[in-house]
């Protein structure tokens, strides 16, 4: 052995290489077993048209790592204990919160925290830096960027409508542009949230990032490609709206808005966008000066490590710690089951008289608002002395699992319309609840609803998810209820009057519910 720069060149024998590979294979097997229940959830997420790009992300990430294999071969295994343990345990806690709270996106998001944590713990900081882009790229395979998308939906709607209006005018289609609306002589078009192109932007960047990494060397060239990717997204989506609007105008068919015309123009324009992206990459790569080749340190028969014996012992200890963490987490995931919390009094025994409101049991729930899988349900119509009516719907879960949840994906349209309002109670306290106006056929309904978790009223669904997850993790209890009030809004009604009626009813209802839904 030759000492060079305070480091020791240690032959990396075939036997040691084989033993290290076996250890890493065991870690991968334990990781795969831990996340086996999550894989079907990921596949379901990727089936969504808004997230179909997600299925290519892990494969692209693996290829980018393989592309750096020569550099990675020269790096020693230097386990980073403290950061590695902290990040790995953070990923584990996120996973357990997702499992106990039946929150799919949290369960999926734990992967993008657990992976860098294990790399730090087993291989060290230098390996993580070398794989920073492929590992960071994994964030695109799960819908954790939703808050960012929520912030750009509205600006993209306005930009798309503006550009589409200009394009329609340029091809001779008379159009009046008003915010996100395009008024044509025979039809009114709205660039809705789903048509803003925000999700397409993520798909475009999912392709642009590996293209820039593999094809471009200069940083300025990569930045230029990302800027073009954004512009291509805006242009392509505006072109899509223009084609749909022109078809609806020329053929006077509303089917262009939601039928096969809509689908075909969408696929056509998006493919055109990807073609422009590849062409842009080729042009930028051809005219930009290539950066010098990355310098690599090649070592024929040895790996440079700081004290070979200490390094090998440290790797073995880190491997054992990682294996214990993964196996322990797996045992929890596969054996976890929330304890059902039954109601002491059935919902059918709710008082028929609440304040000056009298109830009637013979009412069918609003199917569009019914929560599937609830263990207990109650539906009543209450009428006050003025003849005003309120439909009350309560759904209670003794415990929640995947597919049986208070916060259900089928209500995504309702969630997009809600705003929070404060309600003063007779006790002097205030409670926040959700308000939304929904349309069923030709009728409008005012909906007020909230979540009741053991007597604690919560309006924000994300906070309700978090509390459910924490309760499941600490107490193995995920019980809870959703309470909805629905009132018909006629042409003669004013929304404020209907809102005041429902608020008055809630002030009398809430003390009653506390006795039914608060379980010790």
Is residue 301 one of the residues assigned to a domain?
no
Q: Are residues 27 and 15 in the same domain?
A: yes
Q: Do 366 and 456 have their domain in common?
A: yes
133, part of any domain: yes
Contact 405, 481 (CB under 8 A): no
Q: How many domains does the chain have?
A: 3
Q: Looking at the chain, how many residues does it have?
A: 520
On whether residue 359 sits in a domain, the answer given is yes
Where do we find the tokens 């809509």?
262
> Tell me, what's the pLDDT at 30?
94
* 293 part of a folded domain: no
d(CA 455, CA 453): 5
Q: 9 phi and psi, to 5 degrees? A: -85, 110
175 and 120 within one domain = no
Query: Nearest-CA neighbor of 359 among 495, 505, 518, 516?
Result: 505
Q: Tell me the C-alpha distance between 270 and 259, whole Å.
A: 17
Q: Please check whether residue 131 lies inside any domain of the structure.
A: yes
Same domain, yes or no, for 256 and 381? no
Instruction: Give me the pLDDT at residue 3, please.
Output: 42
The reply to whether the predicted model has a pTM over 0.75 is: yes
Residues 102 and 153 in one domain: no
What is the pLDDT tens value at each position of the chain, 520 positions in all? 444 344 444 555 667 778 878 888 899 999 999 999 999 989 988 887 778 888 999 999 999 999 988 888 888 888 898 999 999 999 999 999 989 888 888 899 999 999 999 999 999 999 999 999 999 999 999 888 877 777 788 888 888 888 988 888 888 888 888 888 888 887 778 787 777 777 788 888 888 999 888 888 888 888 888 888 888 888 888 888 888 888 777 776 555 455 555 555 556 666 777 888 888 888 888 877 554 444 444 443 444 443 455 667 788 888 899 999 999 999 999 998 888 999 888 888 888 998 888 888 766 667 778 888 899 988 889 988 888 888 999 999 999 887 788 887 777 777 777 888 887 766 667 788 898 888 776 778 888 999 999 878 899 888 898 888 888 888 889 999 999 998 887 765 556 778 888 888 888 888 888 878 876 6
* Same structural domain, 220 and 360: no
CB atoms within 10 A of CB 166: 13
Any domain includes 341: no
Is 295 domain-assigned?
no
Does 136 lie in the same domain as 102? yes
Verify that 48 and 111 share a domain, yes or no: yes
Please report whether residue 73 resides in a domain: yes
Q: Are residue 503 and residue 371 in the same domain, yes or no?
A: yes
Q: Domain check: are 310 and 373 in the same one?
A: no
The residue range of the domain holding 68 is 3-144+306-335
- State whether 484 and 361 are in the same domain: yes
Say whether both 327 and 366 belong to one domain.
Answer: no
CB contact at 8 A, 410 and 453: no
């Amino acid at each position: 052995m030759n000492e060079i720069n305070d480091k020791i060149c240690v032959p990396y024998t075939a036997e040691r290489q084989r033993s290290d590979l076996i250890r890493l294979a065991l870690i991968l097997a334990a990781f795969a077993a831990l996340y086996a229940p999550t894989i079907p959830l990921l596949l379901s997420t990727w089936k969504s048209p808004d997230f179909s790009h997600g299925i290519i992300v892990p494969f692209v990430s693996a290829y980018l790592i393989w592309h750096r294999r020569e550099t990675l071969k020269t790096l020693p295994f230097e386990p980073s204990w403290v950061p590695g343990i902290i990040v790995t345990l953070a990923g584990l806690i996120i996973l357990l919160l997702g499992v106990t709270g039946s929150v799919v996106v949290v369960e999926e998001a734990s992967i993008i925290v657990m992976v860098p944590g294990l790399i730090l713990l087993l291989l060290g900081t230098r390996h993580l830096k070398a794989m920073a882009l492929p590992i960071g790229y994994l964030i695109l395979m799960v819908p954790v960027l939703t808050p960012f998308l929520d912030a750009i939906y509205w600006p993209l709607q306005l930009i798309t409508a503006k550009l589409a209006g200009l394009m329609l005018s340029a091809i001779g289609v008379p159009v009046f542009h008003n915010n996100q609306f395009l008024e044509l002589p025979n039809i009114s078009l709205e660039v809705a949230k789903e048509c803003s192109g925000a999700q397409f932007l993520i798909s475009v960047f999912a392709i642009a990032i590996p293209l820039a990494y593999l094809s471009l060397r200069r940083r300025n060239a990569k930045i230029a490609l990302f800027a073009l990717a954004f512009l291509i997204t805006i242009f392509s989506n505006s072109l899509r709206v223009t084609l749909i609007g022109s078809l609806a105008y020329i053929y006077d068919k509303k089917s262009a808005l939601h039928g096969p015309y809509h689908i075909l123009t969408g696929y056509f324009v998006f493919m055109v966008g990807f073609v422009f992206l590849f062409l842009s990459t080729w042009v930028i790569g051809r005219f930009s000066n290539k950066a010098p080749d990355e310098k690599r340190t090649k070592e024929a028969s040895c790996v440079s490590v700081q004290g070979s014996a200490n390094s090998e012992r440290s790797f073995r200890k880190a491997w054992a710690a990682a294996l214990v963490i993964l196996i322990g987490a797996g045992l929890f995931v596969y054996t976890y089951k929330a304890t059902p919390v039954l109601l002491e009094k059935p919902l059918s025994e709710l008082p028929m008289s609440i304040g000056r409101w009298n109830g009637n049991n013979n009412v069918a729930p609003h199917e569009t608002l019914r929560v599937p899988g609830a263990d207990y349900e109650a539906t009543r119509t209450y009428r006050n002395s003025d003849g005003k009516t309120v439909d009350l719907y309560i759904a209670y879960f003794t415990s929640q699992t995947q597919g049986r949840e208070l916060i259900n994906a089928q209500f995504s349209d309702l969630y997009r319309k809600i705003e929070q309002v404060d309600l003063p109670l007779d006790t002097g306290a205030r409670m926040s609840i959700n308000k939304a106006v929904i349309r069923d056929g030709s009728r409008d309904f005012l909906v007020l609803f909230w979540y009741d978790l053991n007597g604690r009223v919560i309006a924000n669904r994300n906070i309700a998810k978090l509390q459910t997850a924490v309760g499941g993790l600490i107490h193995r209890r995920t019980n809870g209820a959703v309470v909805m009030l629905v009132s018909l809004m006629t042409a003669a009604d004013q929304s404020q009057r209907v809102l005041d009626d429902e608020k008055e009813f809630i002030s009398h209802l809430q003390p009653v519910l506390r006795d039914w839904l608060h379980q010790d």
